[in-house]
Amino acid sequence: MRTSDFGRVLLGIAVAGLAILSLVYGNFAPLVEAFPAWLPWPEVWPYGLGVLLLAAGAGLFVSRTAPVSVLVIGIYELVWAATRVRPVFVQPLNVGSWYGICEALGPLAAAWILYTVLRRPANGTALTGDRALRVPRAIFGGACIGYGAAHFAYAAYTASMVPGWLPDRTGLAYLTGVAHTAAGLGLLVGILPRLAATLEAIMMSLFGVLVWWPSFFAHPVPAWALPKQVQWSETLLTFLLAASAWIVAASAEPARSHREDRPRL
């Protein structure tokens, strides 16, 4: 399976999982928040959006419906990002305020890239070529820097999530913070973007496999994995971010030469 295919499959699974959470708990996954009271029929929105998002996640697995599905996902991520803007203005120097919007911008950038690639003509154009993908890659890079900053600002909390069988948990919290930041800078300035995104994808995937997934089998369940909705939401969100990184990495693959496509004279 190619990197692009793996990212698309993982994105579909994570989005469908978050949609199911919205349907089960009746709130705005993955934020674990109720819908604003000023919206008409606030009790209906979680279920309506949950059904729409579930259909979009399933639609990613069908080539014909994939472009529309990823567009729906992108709009959802844009709304999610919009809901995270206010804390940034209220507390602009608080890393936690930025972390929320970074979690939304990462998948939004991936949806932007995936939609662009799916709609790209066979010969490519100025609007769908590599130049057009640099903007969402830079946005994703900025989000990665936000993840790294959170590792430094909340080092003790991050260290508490590191499996006990690994040495120097605090050191690993700082090391992964450096890795997030380095990957983000690489994507932001365009230095080895494919390598940067691939390493970010591997790190995010390992975080889901080694930290969140084992929490379902831990006795007692770690305090950072409670309540159950947060445990499921954060697990699926981690794999959503991993899928986004895999999609970004695939978009940075070297372009194939068009010489071989030219007709022989």
| 21-63 confidence digits (pLDDT tens) | 989 988 877 766 666 666 787 778 889 989 999 999 999 999 8
Q: pLDDT tens digits for 205-221?
A: 999 999 999 999 999 99
- Whole-number pLDDT of residue 148: 96
* Cα dihedral 213, 219, 19, 160 sign: negative
Number of domains in the chain: 1
Reading the block at residue 247, the tokens are 């999609």
The answer as to whether 38 is a domain residue is yes
The answer as to whether 131 is a domain residue is yes
Tell me the C-alpha distance between 151 and 92, whole Å. Answer: 18
The answer as to whether 262 is a domain residue is no
The answer as to whether 257 is a domain residue is no
Confidence of residue 20 (pLDDT cuts 50, 70, 90): very high
The answer as to whether 138 is a domain residue is yes
Tell me the C-alpha distance between 198 and 200, whole Å. Answer: 5
Q: pLDDT tens digits for 243-255?
A: 999 999 998 866 5
The answer as to whether 263 is a domain residue is no
Q: Which domain holds residue 42?
A: 3-252
Q: pLDDT tens digits for 58-89?
A: 999 998 999 999 999 999 999 888 888 888 99
Confidence of residue 258 (pLDDT cuts 50, 70, 90): very low
The answer as to whether 219 is a domain residue is yes
Mean pLDDT in residue range 231-246: 95
* Predicted confidence (pLDDT) at residue 262 exceeds the cutoff of 60: no
Tell me the C-alpha distance between 196 and 200, whole Å. Answer: 6
Q: Residue 185 contacts by C-beta under 8 Å, 6 or more apart in sequence? A: 141, 145, 191, 196
The answer as to whether 259 is a domain residue is no
